[in-house]
């Protein structure tokens, strides 16, 4: 049996840890030793609780904790995101990679599975350990030049090429120190030896042709810990998964309350003890992760920051989405949903925003629900357990 290490390094949404949990379970059932190395050890604690995760050791991921000065304004591609996370300098990255290498050596890793974890994949390559990148389309770019993050803006190709070359040079300088083979493209930093796209072409932010990759559909971690506890009353139910702080949480929740909605909200910071951004009898604050499939089944629509996992599960349930994206990744996901006709991306709307009109449109929008239900019908045969087993077999093939 093998030692398989699951890693999450970049990105803030809990969906990264949820995906790793779902993929680790069948591998563990087959007798493999499994470890988690995660960006966040606090908010993932309840997510990973339960018999399926009991006994799996969890370690802190080596992270870039410093501010990088002098970068060009705005993020033109994934290379710019990496530069801000330490990839500007080979000496800096060598320190982080050493942290990963020590972890993998101590854990006697046979396979490294990275969910938005380029440092982990780089360290695995430096040690000659087989690796796989898993995740949504954003964090596993096409095999070629990195696509622009903001395709609606004009960014000089020379700038993008220079940034990509800098990231690639940093990675290859680190690999050279360990006598390992260099990468050929910057995209390889995020693809690993075997890229496994846990999404569908309809939600791919890069708009790849279906034939260009293998698509496995989303990885779903299973039932959450908390049974939905809705506010009392007779209004429509709305589930909101938020992360804070956000300048529009309060006004959005206020509009939901004025529309008579009964909103169940999970905001990890509030669950950890922070003050809620809005208080009203029609707003209930969950003390921990909620059983999402149950909450969605009872919701008129869902509110989220367009994290891929939440979006996928809502669409599978035929539930439309009101989305407040916080990052380039979530904006691109929200744009795909809006183009499907299954929800509203508020970041594509002019400000100041009429939140009462937005909420009213979601409540009245039978076209949104029809589009979400059409998506659900297209993927009615999707089985999360079968997907995890399929990926398990591919990871075992790396041994």
Q: What are the pLDDT digits (tens) for 137-155?
A: 999 999 999 999 988 888 7
From CA 13, how far away is CA 398, in angstroms rounded?
A: 28
Domain locations in the chain as residue ranges:
3-217+383-396, 237-378
Q: What percent of the chain stands above pLDDT 90?
A: 79
160-170, pLDDT tens digit by residue?
999 999 999 99
Q: Which of 92-96, 114-118, 135-139, 219-223 has the lowest mean pLDDT?
A: 219-223
Query: In the structure, what pLDDT confidence band is assigned to residue 18 with cuts at 50, 70 and 90?
Result: confident
Tell me how far apart the alpha carbons of residues 95 and 316 are, in angstroms, rounded to a whole number.
Answer: 42
Q: Give the model's pLDDT for residue 282.
A: 97
For 51, the 3-state DSSP assignment is coil
Burial class (CB in 10 A: 0-12, 13-18, 19+), 145: middle
Task: Pick the more confident residue, 70 or 396.
Answer: 396
Is a pLDDT exceeding 70 seen at residue 197?
A: yes
Mean residue pLDDT of the chain comes to 93
% the chain with pLDDT above 70 = 98
Express each pLDDT in 223-236 by its tens digit: 556 799 999 999 99
Look at residue 252 in the predicted model and tell me its pLDDT. 97
Question: How does pLDDT run across 283-323, given as a tens digit for each residue?
Answer: 999 998 898 999 999 999 999 999 888 999 999 999 999 99
Query: How far is 120 from 21, CA to CA, in rounded Å?
Result: 17
Confidence of residue 349 (pLDDT cuts 50, 70, 90): very high
pLDDT band for 29, please (50, 70, 90 cuts): very high
The half-sphere exposure of 141 on its side-chain side, counting CA atoms within 13 A, is: 19
| pLDDT above 70: residue 180 | yes
The answer to whether domain 3-217+383-396 has CATH 3.40.50.2000 is yes
End-to-end CA distance of the chain: 9
Comparing 3-217+383-396 with 237-378, is the CATH topology the same?
A: yes
pLDDT of residue 328: 87
The better pLDDT of the pair 12, 98 is held by 98
Task: Domain 237-378: give its CATH architecture.
Answer: 3-Layer(aba) Sandwich (3.40)
pLDDT at 223 (0 to 100): 53
């Amino acid at each position: 049996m093998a030692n398989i290490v699951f890693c999450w390094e970049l990105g803030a949404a809990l969906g990264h840890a949820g995906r790793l949990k779902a993929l680790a379970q069948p591998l563990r059932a087959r007798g493999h030793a499994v470890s988690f190395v995660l960006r966040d050890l606090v908010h993932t604690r309840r997510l990973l609780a339960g018999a399926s995760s009991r006994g799996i050791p969890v370690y802190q991921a080596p992270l870039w904790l410093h501010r990088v000065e002098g970068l060009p304004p705005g993020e033109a591609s994934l290379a710019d995101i990496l530069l801000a996370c330490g990839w500007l300098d080979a000496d800096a990255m060598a320190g982080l990679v050493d942290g990963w290498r020590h972890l993998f050596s101590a854990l006697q890793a046979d396979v490294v599975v990275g969910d938005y974890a380029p440092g982990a994949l780089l360290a695995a390559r430096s040690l000659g350990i087989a690796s796989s990148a898993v995740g949504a389309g954003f964090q596993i770019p096409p095999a070629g030049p990195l696509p622009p993050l903001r395709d609606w803006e004009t960014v000089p190709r020379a700038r993008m090429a220079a940034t990509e070359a800098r990231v690639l040079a940093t990675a290859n300088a680190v690999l050279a120190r360990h006598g390992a083979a260099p990468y050929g493209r910057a995209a390889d930093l995020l693809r690993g030896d075997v890229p496994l796209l846990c999404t569908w072409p309809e939600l791919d932010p890069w708009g790849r042709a279906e034939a260009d990759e293998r698509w496995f559909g989303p990885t779903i971690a299973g039932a959450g810990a908390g049974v939905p506890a809705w506010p009392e009353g007779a209004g429509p139910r709305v589930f909101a998964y938020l992360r804070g702080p956000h300048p529009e949480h309060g006004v959005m929740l206020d509009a939901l309350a004025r529309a008579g909605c009964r909103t169940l909200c999970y905001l990890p910071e509030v669950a950890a003890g922070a003050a809620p951004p809005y208080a009203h009898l029609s707003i209930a604050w969950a003390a921990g992760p909620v059983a999402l499939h149950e909450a969605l089944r009872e919701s008129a629509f869902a509110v989220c920051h367009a994290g891929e996992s939440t979006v996928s599960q809502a669409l599978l349930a035929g539930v439309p989405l009101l989305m407040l994206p916080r990052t380039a990744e979530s904006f691109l996901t929200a744009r795909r949903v809006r183009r499907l006709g299954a929800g509203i991306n508020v970041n594509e709307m002019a400000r100041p925003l009429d939140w009462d009109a937005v909420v009213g449109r979601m409540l009245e929008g039978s076209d949104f629900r029809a589009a979400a239900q059409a998506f659900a019908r297209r993927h009615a045969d999707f089985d999360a357990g079968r997907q995890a087993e399929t990926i398990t077999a591919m990871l075992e093939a790396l041994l």
